Chains A and B, each alone.
Chain A
């Protein structure tokens, strides 16, 4: 299985753990990820608020245009990048007027995109291309006894509803955790918003939503939260102490990328498990599984 890979800006900064664990897990599952040469920032859900949807979608499509020369579908491990890339891609496929106009802009840099690729979340690739059977076969250290809250977040399942899971109560993350031997926590907040990039300009949004998410996870008996999204991971991990301060709680629940738990269950290297980037330490919760 070969794909073009779009790492996204967070892979070089706040979400290094995502990048390392995706690399490790992909290798273990014989998924070849080939980084898109000279990729650029997708603009997340922010750029269009300054320059408009069209400009942002074209900027995003520069990556698709470069990838198309190789003909491999694009995979990303970031929910926000997924949303932007997938929405742009869909526009190229479905809206002729948009495609012509966007290609006129891309031509300014000698590029062109015909809309022949698919854009996929890494989670989607694991579930639908690799398959849970193969995942289960690779498990060396079953996560038996561990209860995991599968926090899918917003954009993964709602950017393009029903593209690969239910937009309200997605189930794929839970099934994946079960394939690793873990128990999926009953966790109604699994697809609610974490507050996204409000941390700097309106922090309380993130703290209030974070509180509700932690409460729901803990009530479901979760020892660990996993997510496919760098923004969710950052908000829930780095700001957990501020949630505790604001609400007088003492949540101490590690928040990992789902690929980190896969790396643990597959018995991959500590480098691939990438615990050292975690602010809320996962070592205690996972001591009996991680080598």
Chain B
């Protein structure tokens, strides 16, 4: 989980030649953090570069503008710049178990500011999808995202009640207990007519929509296989 140490260490990840000059102590500090000394393993990086927007990461020049701009950097284990660096270094576990892309709110600040024109939020979407596919779904957001999609694709419209129910079913009792202080919010939403208890009607073209979705996914798979 988030430790200031880990964050600082990643911030300080510097090339080998530089470390040597700093003497043994400095190197030991680094060793405590990383499971192994920095070693480039391109397998993971290449896999990420192949994602829909993944190749943009190669353009990142590590300027850090995304990090200072990020709305949720305070809660992110690694801000976007560091995450991209870790991807380049092949640090698969660090990347996939981090909360970075799950904390991204798609606020577009980084995307609008990145001097290299990297659509950072779209890269974050790719990483979410990749993490779900490979079973890195411990963060609550993963359950939320899946609940959202199931709800939307089975109706053609979003029904918050259904999505919330699905979310809590996946996350279990603990999460419900934690959310108890939100019940006031729920009650006032109900009172003010903003939380319908019944779902909206399914769209008429739901059959067609489902066909569109499976065709789109098929085309995506075909392109990825190339």
Binding site for B on A (CB under 8 A): 9-10, 12-16, 38-41, 43-55, 58-59, 62, 83, 101-102, 104-111, 154-155, 158-159, 161, 167-168, 192-193, 195-198, 200-205, 208-209, 238-239, 241-242, 245, 276-279
Q: Which residues of chain A come closer than 8 Å to B106, judged between CB atoms? A: 45, 83, 154-155, 196
Q: Which of A40, A49, A108 contacts B125 (CB 8 A)?
A: A49
Pick from B22-30, B35-43, B83-91, B194-202 the stretch touching chain A: B194-202
A158 touches B209 (CB 8 A): no
- B149 contacts partner chain A, Cβ-Cβ < 8 Å: yes
Q: Which of B122, B148, B155, B209 contacts A59 (CB 8 A)?
A: B209
- B158 contacts partner chain A, Cβ-Cβ < 8 Å: yes
CB 8 Å contact bits of B211-226 with A (1 = contact, 0 = none): 1111111011001000
* Chain A nearest Cβ from B135, distance in angstroms: 14
Q: Which residues of chain B come closer than 8 Å to A105, judged between CB atoms? A: 212, 215-216, 219
* Chain A nearest Cβ from B49, distance in angstroms: 15
**Known A104-B219, A277-B192: A41·B157 in contact at CB below 8 Å:** yes
The 4 closest A-B pairs by CB, nearest first: A109-B208, A49-B128, A45-B106, A193-B107
B194 touches A14 (CB 8 A): yes
A205 touches B157 (CB 8 A): no
A52 touches B184 (CB 8 A): no
Name the residue of chain A whose CB is nearest to the CB of B171. A201
A49 touches B145 (CB 8 A): yes
Pick from B8-16, B58-66, B108-116 the stretch touching chain A: B108-116
Counting chain B CB atoms within 10 Å of each CB, the highest count among A49, A53, A59, A155 belongs to A49
A14 touches B107 (CB 8 A): no
- B97 contacts partner chain A, Cβ-Cβ < 8 Å: no
Give Cα distance in the complex from A14 to B200, angstroms. 13
Name the residue of chain A whose CB is nearest to the CB of B75. A205
A241 touches B75 (CB 8 A): no
Give Cα distance in the complex from A56 to B159, angstroms. 18
Q: Which residues of chain A come closer than 8 Å to B75, judged between CB atoms? A: 202, 204-205
Query: Chain A binding site: helix, strand, loop or mixed by DSSP?
Result: helix
**Known A49-B145, A50-B148, A58-B216: A12·B140 in contact at CB below 8 Å:** no
A161 touches B122 (CB 8 A): no
Q: What would 12 A/B residue contacts be, using CB atoms closer than 8 Å? A: A12-B200, A38-B204, A49-B132, A50-B146, A59-B212, A104-B215, A108-B214, A200-B140, A202-B141, A242-B184, A242-B185, A279-B189
Q: Which residues of chain A come closer than 8 Å to B200, judged between CB atoms? A: 9, 12-13
A53 touches B195 (CB 8 A): no
A16 touches B193 (CB 8 A): yes
Which residues of B120-140 are within 8 A (CB) of A? 121-122, 124-126, 128-129, 132, 139-140
B52 touches A53 (CB 8 A): yes
Give Cα distance in the complex from A110 to B125, angstroms. 28
A198 touches B185 (CB 8 A): no
Q: Which residues of chain A come closer than 8 Å to B149, judged between CB atoms? A: 43, 46-47, 50-51
Name the residue of chain A whose CB is nearest to the CB of B209. A40
B212 touches A193 (CB 8 A): no
* Chain B nearest Cβ from A233, distance in angstroms: 10
Give Cα distance in the complex from A50 to B166, angstroms. 15
A158 touches B107 (CB 8 A): yes
- B7 contacts partner chain A, Cβ-Cβ < 8 Å: no
B160 touches A159 (CB 8 A): no
Q: Which residues of chain B come closer than 8 Å to A54, judged between CB atoms? A: 52, 216, 219-220
Give Cα distance in the complex from A104 to B193, angstroms. 41
A52 touches B211 (CB 8 A): no
A55 touches B141 (CB 8 A): no
B216 touches A238 (CB 8 A): no
Give Cα distance in the complex from A47 to B144, angstroms. 10
Q: Which residues of chain B come closer than 8 Å to A209, judged between CB atoms? A: 71
Give Cα distance in the complex from A49 to B181, angstroms. 28
Q: Which residues of chain A come closer than 8 Å to B179, judged between CB atoms? A: 200
* Chain B nearest Cβ from A170, distance in angstroms: 12
**Known A48-B125, A55-B213: A196·B192 in contact at CB below 8 Å:** no
B144 touches A197 (CB 8 A): yes
- B205 contacts partner chain A, Cβ-Cβ < 8 Å: yes
Counting chain A CB atoms within 10 Å of each CB, the highest count among B111, B188, B216 belongs to B216
Give Cα distance in the complex from A192 to B167, angstroms. 27
Q: Which residues of chain A come closer than 8 Å to B216, judged between CB atoms? A: 51, 54-55, 58-59, 102, 105
Give Cα distance in the complex from A139 to B149, angstroms. 43
